[in-house]
């Protein structure tokens, strides 16, 4: 036996490797189509109209009257102080404010668009269709 350490020299070594490749399996065609449709949207517009009348009263009062409502009429008192031998409140007039709700139907033509997508299979050139 010799005192030399044992040496190993590999003569053949195998290595593993993975290879990938793209394989075309199917083809598809994708197309889009846009369609338009005419529609009429309907709604009702509302607005308020005020009818204001000044109504003369000319009546002495002890205190300033409050704003009040009688039915659909809002009554706003108008008061002035008049100098007499004694100062007194005189209800000179009232403003009668009546609300009227007016409605008018409207129609607005609009164009709506929608897009459809179509996906269709196509055959491969070699006839492979798996």
Whether residue 12 is contained in a domain is answered as: no
Q: How many domains does the chain divide into?
A: 1
Whether residue 10 is contained in a domain is answered as: no
pLDDT at 129 over 60: no
Whether residue 2 is contained in a domain is answered as: no
Whether residue 5 is contained in a domain is answered as: no
pTM: 0.42
Tell me the residue range of the domain where 102 lies.
27-122
Whether residue 71 is contained in a domain is answered as: yes
Model pLDDT for residues 46-87, shown as the tens digit of each residue: 888 888 999 999 888 889 999 999 998 999 999 988 876 777
pLDDT of residue 74: 92
Read off the pLDDT band of 19 (50, 70, 90): confident
Whether residue 1 is contained in a domain is answered as: no
pLDDT at 9 over 60: yes
Closest by CA to 108, choosing from 35, 34, 44, 36, is 44
Whether residue 49 is contained in a domain is answered as: yes
């Amino acid at each position: 036996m010799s005192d030399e350490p044992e040496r190993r020299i590999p003569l053949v070594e195998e290595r593993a490797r993975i290879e990938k490749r793209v394989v075309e399996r199917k083809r598809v065609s994708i197309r889009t189509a846009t369609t338009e449709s005419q529609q009429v949207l309907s709604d009702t517009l509302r607005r308020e109209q005020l009818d204001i009348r000044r109504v003369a009263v000319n009546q002495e009062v002890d205190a300033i009257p409050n704003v009040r409502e009688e039915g659909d009429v809002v009554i706003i008192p108008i008061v002035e102080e008049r100098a007499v031998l004694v100062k007194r409140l005189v209800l000179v007039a009232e403003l009668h404010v009546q609300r009227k709700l007016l409605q008018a139907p409207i129609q607005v033509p609009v164009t709506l668009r929608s897009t459809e997508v179509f996906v269709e299979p196509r055959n491969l050139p070699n006839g492979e269709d798996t």
